[in-house]
Amino acid sequence: MNELERMAISRRRFLQIAAATGVVVACGPAATGGGAAATGGGAAATAGKISGTVTVSYPDEAGFKPKYVEQAAAAVKAKFSDLNVKIDLQKINSDDYYTKLLLQLDSNDVPDVTHVSGEKIGELADAGYIEPLDSYVSQWADWSQYSDAVKSGVTYKGKVWAIPYGLDMRWLYYRKDDLQKAGLPADWKPTNVQGILDAAAAVKKSNQTNVIPYALYAGPAGSGGTANHAFVPLLWAYGGELQDKDGKWIGDSPAVRKVMAYYAKAYGDGLSPKDILTATKPWTAMREKVGNGQLALLFEGGWVYGGWAAKDKAATQANVGYVLHPTESGGPSFTVGGPGTCWYITAKSKNKQGAWETIKAVNTKDIVAKLNIEDPHPVARSDSADVAEFKADPYLVASSQALTKAKFTPVDAAYPKVQAAIQKATARVAAGEVSPTEAAQRYTDDLKQAVGADKVTTQS
């Protein structure tokens, strides 16, 4: 009791001091979340009188999005003469943007519209940072263009929280020229997971100058790619799951041990370069290397194809092959699906109606089609796939078809924390510090640290 009392005093005092020094910004953002949702529907009725300013904040390093956001802003301004749209384009990577955004959301100076991965829906909603969109989409005719699968990807605790423009899917990319020099066919297709390592070993053996056989993301440096582009597809390939039926996260299991053994092989045999563990944003270098033929094999997002195609479409079509991820036993290949980057309305926004109008304007049939042609993703709204230019692109058609074979990453507030645990666990085995068995055991500990021991289980 005494201890509690003392703490209470110290808390009060530290808040006083912090408030006096201007360190603390308003707490309790959740308090505003629920109430504001109720006003959303009512505001929709007064759509004709939208005014004020809407701030749209979004990150884009590649530079595909600005012209479409500007186009949408112009359309909104034309429709509502009293509404001003301020665009806050951040030319930083999405990880840095997210941290910056969270610090902003914790304050009172928030953008009205923001743009981050749909994987963050759970934790953003739990924090009370984002606005549920049910009352908005229910009055939006175009919402019927979004399939149930897409809708469920942006639904959390029974509410819709974000509007996606393109879905995430991944390919196992390979350089046809590099593989051919290693004696493999140009239309290479691994029959099972081992087939990837075999091809990588063949490339290594063929001793091509400046060609890395394979890049397998590991560690914190790999960021989201460590889970979504490496550990998770391998886990599924070996018949494992991230969560059990009760929603508990599975630590040490036969499949996890196999994944760790795969990592040990890829890194131990020098097939995948160790500097993935220390490089700043290793994916930048790895993507670039596939583009210029210096990396033979890489499982990566479907969207990275856009970077290569923008540089040299003909050469990319001639040299970069893409296949689905194989499984251990040669069962049906698959891809990893995800909600992609989505548009959100912040809970503290003072102009939610204006924000919604802006989101609608940037998600028209036409803009969604065009944006996904440049920044290739399967389109989130079905009618965008009917746009002639989209239908004419074989890569986009294949990517959209691949979605039928996609297994989706969990829509769970804890998933970002689980990803951090995956990063720690894979780093150890990739650095050669622990055996695969030990790495799998340590993964259990990492998970317990990340999400709490009661939410973790193991399988033998």
Partner 1 sequence: MTVAGAGAIGPRSTGLGRTLKRNRLYFAGLTPAALLLAVFFVGPALWALGSSFTNRALVGIDAANPRFVGLDNYTRLFGDPDFGRVIVNSIVFVVGSAIIGQFILGLGLALLIDHAQQRGFRAANFVYAAVLLAWVDPTLIAGFLWVAMFDFYYGSLNVALSVFGLGPVNWFGQAPMLAVIIANVWRGTAFTMLIFLGALRTVPGDVYEAARVDGASAWRRFWDHTLPMLRPIAALTLLSITMSTFGTFIVIQTLTNGGPSFQTEVIALYAYHEAFQAHEVGYGSTIAVAMLVLNLAFAVFYLRWSRARA
Taking the complex as a whole, the smallest distance from the CB of residue 2 to partner 1 amounts, in Å, to 12
24 binds partner 1 (CB under 8 A): yes
Q: Which of 159, 431, 457, 458 binds partner 1 (CB under 8 A)?
A: 431
Contacts with partner 1, 164-203, as mask; x by CB under 8 A? ----------------------------------------
1 binds partner 1 (CB under 8 A): no
String of DSSP letters for 119-155: GGHHHHHHTT-B---HHHHTT-GGGGGB-HHHHHHTE
State both tokens at 337: 């699906």
Is the separation of the CB atoms in 126 and 413 below 8 Å?
yes
Nearest CB to partner 1, comparing residues 267 and 299? 267
* Spatial separation of the C-alpha atoms in residues 125 and 129, rounded to whole Å: 6
Nearest CB to partner 1, comparing residues 284 and 329? 284
Q: Which amino acid is at 303?
A: W
Beta bridge partners of 258: none
Nearest CB to partner 1, comparing residues 181 and 281? 281
State both tokens at 17: 């001091």
75 binds partner 1 (CB under 8 A): no
339 binds partner 1 (CB under 8 A): no
285 binds partner 1 (CB under 8 A): yes
* Spatial separation of the C-alpha atoms in residues 89 and 115, rounded to whole Å: 10
Q: State how far the alpha carbon of 233 is from the alpha carbons of 255, 324, 367, in Å.
A: 11, 10, 31
Nearest CB to partner 1, comparing residues 70 and 106? 106
Taking the complex as a whole, the smallest distance from the CB of residue 184 to partner 1 amounts, in Å, to 24
Q: Which of 40, 111, 128, 340 binds partner 1 (CB under 8 A)?
A: 128
424 binds partner 1 (CB under 8 A): yes
Taking the complex as a whole, the smallest distance from the CB of residue 116 to partner 1 amounts, in Å, to 11
Radius of gyration of the chain (CA): 23
String of DSSP letters for 276-328: GGTSSSHHHHHHHHHHTTSEEEEEEETTHHHHHHHH-HHHHHHHEEEEPBP-S
State both tokens at 169: 């899917």
Stretch that binds partner 1, among 27-35, 40-48, 192-200, 319-327 (CB under 8 A): 27-35
* Spatial separation of the C-alpha atoms in residues 119 and 141, rounded to whole Å: 26
In this structure, what is the dihedral angle of CA atoms 362, 367, 370, 371, given to the nearest 10 degrees? 10
Contacts with partner 1, 437-456, as mask; x by CB under 8 A? --------x---xx------
Is the separation of the CB atoms in 192 and 328 below 8 Å?
yes
Taking the complex as a whole, the smallest distance from the CB of residue 317 to partner 1 amounts, in Å, to 26
Taking the complex as a whole, the smallest distance from the CB of residue 61 to partner 1 amounts, in Å, to 18
21 binds partner 1 (CB under 8 A): yes
Give the DSSP H/E element, type plus range, for residue 56: strand 52-59
Contacts with partner 1, 217-246, as mask; x by CB under 8 A? --xxx-------------------------
Contacts with partner 1, 91-120, as mask; x by CB under 8 A? --------x--xx--x-------------x
Taking the complex as a whole, the smallest distance from the CB of residue 24 to partner 1 amounts, in Å, to 7
* Spatial separation of the C-alpha atoms in residues 375 and 391, rounded to whole Å: 15
Q: What is the largest CA-CA distance in the chain?
A: 74
Is the separation of the CB atoms in 146 and 385 below 8 Å?
no
Taking the complex as a whole, the smallest distance from the CB of residue 227 to partner 1 amounts, in Å, to 14
Q: Which of 46, 207, 280, 460 binds partner 1 (CB under 8 A)?
A: 280
Stretch that binds partner 1, among 139-147, 278-286, 309-317, 333-341 (CB under 8 A): 278-286
Q: Which of 69, 137, 150, 277 binds partner 1 (CB under 8 A)?
A: 277
Residue 253: CA count within 13 A, CB half-sphere: 19
Sheet holding 295-301, edge to edge: 212-215, 295-301, 170-175, 320-323
Taking the complex as a whole, the smallest distance from the CB of residue 221 to partner 1 amounts, in Å, to 6
Nearest CB to partner 1, comparing residues 106 and 142? 106
* Spatial separation of the C-alpha atoms in residues 407 and 203, rounded to whole Å: 29
Nearest CB to partner 1, comparing residues 66 and 432? 432
Q: Which of 61, 126, 142, 393 binds partner 1 (CB under 8 A)?
A: 126
Tell which residue, 121, 157, 180, has the closest CA to residue 409: 121
Q: Residues interacting with partner 1, by CB under 8 A?
A: 3-4, 7-8, 10-11, 13-15, 17-18, 20-24, 27-30, 33, 99, 102-103, 106, 120, 122-124, 126-129, 219-221, 273-275, 277-278, 280, 285, 413, 416-417, 420, 424, 427-428, 430-431, 433, 445, 449-450
